[in-house]
Chains A and B, each alone.
Chain A
Amino acid sequence: MSKFPVLHFPHRHLLGIDGLDAADIAIILDLAETYIEQNRADDKKRALLRGRTIINLFFENSTRTRTSFELAGKRLGADVINMSVASTSVKKGETLLDTALTLNAMHLDALVVRHPDSGAVKLLAEAVNCAVINGGDGSHEHPTQALLDALTIRRRKGRLHGLTVAICGDVLHSRVARSNIALLNIMGAHVRVVAPRTLLPAQVSRLGVEVFHDMARGLADVDIIMMLRLQTERMHGSFLPSIREYFHFYGLDHNKIARARPDALVMHPGPINRGVEIDSAVADDLDRSLIREQVEMGVAVRMACLDLLLRANTPMTEH
């Protein structure tokens, strides 16, 4: 058992990066490191969470995040059930709390929730009596994505502190951007955002970033380029004239990367829109692209989060 010590993690839920400190983040990343090897071995399964029940409750379509959480739970020995709720059939609100009541009756140990509305996961967390992990809420937060990005960067660069990271593209609609901005600030990285003004939230610099509207300048001497997916499904009305124009000015290709440090690495939370925000040649460039590695780190990080919330906090107490 000493191989799997119970760590101290003073949080009941993981609703966002906001609320965590550098020590919390380091605990998660360190624990995730230990799961990377396990995931590469033939026998990928441990019985740490045997008998525990986890539900992936997704109010938005997702394949990769849901699969990643499912694998994470199963590799720790938990029973994992996926519930997809088509948002069209949900009359928002009542149903969300009704769902919470139903889930409470099922005696869950953890709930992973994705929802199209900012704040919806917090609302649900207040109504259920199990640990809740935010799998993405509206344009608010996607904490496990930021954690897996941090793990990926840390493994390649050996640190987060002092690195310059450019987050490029649709920051306005992006929960990935908000979580990453928060995490990178906590860990002492320098964060830039690069986007046309219509895709930046108001007073974005107050979130702790340097703002650029020009890729060439924004990418100058950066260590990490994080591309964001253009979230056309969240866009009501016209934010951009055309994909062609967007790619011309903000799509990542090798010409634009040339402005960054020679050893700069490229990340993307996926799924990628080839030819929209990123050129295929960049996405598939093994020397530059961390996209596949991010997916691998995702499983390890989610195992760490489930482990910490379910084992470190045992026995669960009512709040």
Chain B
Amino acid sequence: MPATLFSNARLLDPWTHLDQVGELLAIDGRIAAIGAVPSAQVPQDTIRVDCRGNCLAPGLVDMRVHIREPGQEHVETIEGTSRTAVSGGITSLVGLPDTTPVIDDVSLVEFVTRRARKAGMVNIYTYAAATKGLDGATLSELGLMAAAGALGFTDGTAPISDSLVMRRLLSYARTFDQLVIQRPEDPRLAAGGAATEGEIASRLGIPGIPAAAELILLERDLRLVELTGGRYHASLISTAAAVHAIATAKTRGLPVTCDTAPPYFTLNETAIDGYSTDARLSPPLRAEADRLAIIEGLKNGTIDAITSDHAPVDQDEKRVPFIAATPGAIGLETLLPLVLALYHRGEMSILAALRAVTQAPAQILRLPVGRLAIDSAADLVLFDLDMPWRIGRRGLRLAATNTPFEDMSVKGKALKTFVAGRLVYGFDA
């Protein structure tokens, strides 16, 4: 593979606090030089990419993606997920195990890894089910699946509600130094609910899910982390109270991290008005005060990472009454601009915003990606920081079009995406 020399690039790397115009040289899929590249170092047949002052950053690391293969290939295949991911500047992503069948066995971990390699393009990793068949009771083969490449253990959208199971999971996972990921929501308190409890849900006659449902399970988990010392990651934090609980746990030195997703800092509960099923998410969109608290949590570092929580849903499962609709929204293509919106609105520096989708998830997952460093993989995104565009169903490349951001105007677009130095996506204006 020929080398690539990026010139006239605004090099951005949260890991090294790098923000300067310069060059970057990639040889054999790895970064060979950053900053000013001496011409002696540039091989003869090098491809030259004039970045024209656009931003060159580590490719995005998306630590929560609902991959629909195996089981729901009609909604989205691994190949479809890959193509869409790279068009959004994502170069590494981690799939959830709640597919059909559930990824709860070494052979299935290997299946996903193999299919991902075949699709090429993007680095696809997988979590494995924490409990067999997501039954919430029987521990799966954590050690063996970790050895096969599983990056962490979670029951996906199903929270582990049994305290004893969670205790043993954290404890056993610690034996292998593995990460336990939980989307905290007390399933009994949230039972039957489809929107956040409050005025909007009351008006619409939709059963509500109180914010406390998130806090209750999260606080229990944090106590169990204290008891076991297991590494714990809370996914999709959506409430002010949960941000506060995480902050307290971090202050106390617990091995805890968390993420949120763009809907929770971009939208609030009003998005469901008119029974918009594309805005039916799990956890549900919350009150405005929660949205502001999520932004605050991102600013002060309480919330480590931002994930797309990409969840393609078939139209047939969205064009139904709100309460019957399958929760979830696509998010791979909108991750970068909605993260950049935090910068454009003056809420975060560009490096802090990018850190949440590069360095932070890479560190949580212990992956050697998400940075511009000599000898690390040349997983890169070249993006136009200011290019305006409007999110629209027709513009999106997926079969599933369930986005709550329809018609939103955003700034920032991936122009080119490279995985291991290879061009995997080029924006066609």
Decide if A and B are genuine partners.
Answer: yes
For residue B321, CB closer than 8 A to chain A, the reply is yes
Closest chain B residue to A174 by CB distance?
A: B205
**Quick check: which of A73-81, A92-100, A161-169, A281-289 contacts chain B, the rest being far away?**
A92-100
For residue B312, CB closer than 8 A to chain A, the reply is no
Is the Cβ of B323 less than 8 Å from the Cβ of A138? yes
Q: Which residues of chain A come closer than 8 Å to B325, judged between CB atoms?
A: 93
In the complex, which of the residues A97, A118, A122, A206 has the most CB atoms of chain B within 10 Å of its own CB atom? A118
Interface flags for A221-249 (1: CB within 8 Å of B; 0: not) read 00000000000000011000000000000
Closest chain A residue to B287 by CB distance?
A: A203
The SS class assigned to the B binding surface is: loop
Q: Which residues of chain B come closer than 8 Å to A97, judged between CB atoms?
A: 319
Interface flags for B195-228 (1: CB within 8 Å of A; 0: not) read 0011101111110101000000000000000000
Question: What separation, in Å, do the CA atoms of A97 and B324 have in the docked complex?
Answer: 13
Question: What separation, in Å, do the CA atoms of A307 and B140 have in the docked complex?
Answer: 64
Q: Which of A123, A138, A206 contacts B199 (CB 8 A)?
A: A206
Is the Cβ of A236 less than 8 Å from the Cβ of B321? no
Is the Cβ of A93 less than 8 Å from the Cβ of B197? no
For residue A140, CB closer than 8 A to chain B, the reply is yes
For residue B147, CB closer than 8 A to chain A, the reply is no
Q: Which residues of chain B come closer than 8 Å to A137, judged between CB atoms?
A: 205
For residue B274, CB closer than 8 A to chain A, the reply is yes
Interface size counted on chain A using CB atoms at 8 A: 28
For residue B320, CB closer than 8 A to chain A, the reply is yes
For residue B127, CB closer than 8 A to chain A, the reply is no
Q: Which residues of chain A come closer than 8 Å to B198, judged between CB atoms?
A: 202-203
Q: Which residues of chain A come closer than 8 Å to B206, judged between CB atoms?
A: 118-119, 139
Interface size counted on chain B using CB atoms at 8 A: 24
Question: What separation, in Å, do the CA atoms of A66 and B208 have in the docked complex?
Answer: 30
Q: Which residues of chain B come closer than 8 Å to A237, judged between CB atoms?
A: 191
Is the Cβ of B319 less than 8 Å from the Cβ of A123? yes
For residue B317, CB closer than 8 A to chain A, the reply is yes
Is the Cβ of B205 less than 8 Å from the Cβ of A94? no
Is the Cβ of B321 less than 8 Å from the Cβ of A201? no
Closest chain B CB from A233 CB (angstroms): 14
Q: Which of B191, B197, B275, B317 contacts A236 (CB 8 A)?
A: B191
Closest chain B CB from A114 CB (angstroms): 13
Is the Cβ of A202 less than 8 Å from the Cβ of B208? yes
Q: Which of A119, A141, A175 contacts B321 (CB 8 A)?
A: A119
Is the Cβ of A202 less than 8 Å from the Cβ of B205? no
Is the Cβ of B324 less than 8 Å from the Cβ of A93? yes
Closest chain B CB from A217 CB (angstroms): 22
Given known contacts A93-B317, A202-B197, is B322 in contact with A119 (CB within 8 Å)? Answer: yes
Closest 5 CB pairs of A and B: A93-B320, A139-B205, A119-B275, A117-B321, A201-B202
Give chain A's interface residues, CB within 8 Å of chain B.
18, 92-94, 96-97, 115, 117-120, 122-123, 137-141, 175, 178, 201-204, 206-207, 236-237
Task: List 5 A–B pairs whose Cβ atoms lie within 8 Å, in order of A's numbering.
Answer: A97-B319, A115-B321, A117-B324, A118-B321, A175-B205
Give chain B's interface residues, CB within 8 Å of chain A.
191-192, 197-199, 201-206, 208, 210, 274-275, 316-317, 319-325
Q: Beyond A93-B324, A120-B321, A175-B205: 13 further Cβ-contacts under 8 Å?
A: A93-B320, A94-B320, A96-B321, A122-B275, A123-B275, A139-B206, A140-B204, A202-B197, A202-B198, A202-B199, A202-B202, A203-B198, A237-B191
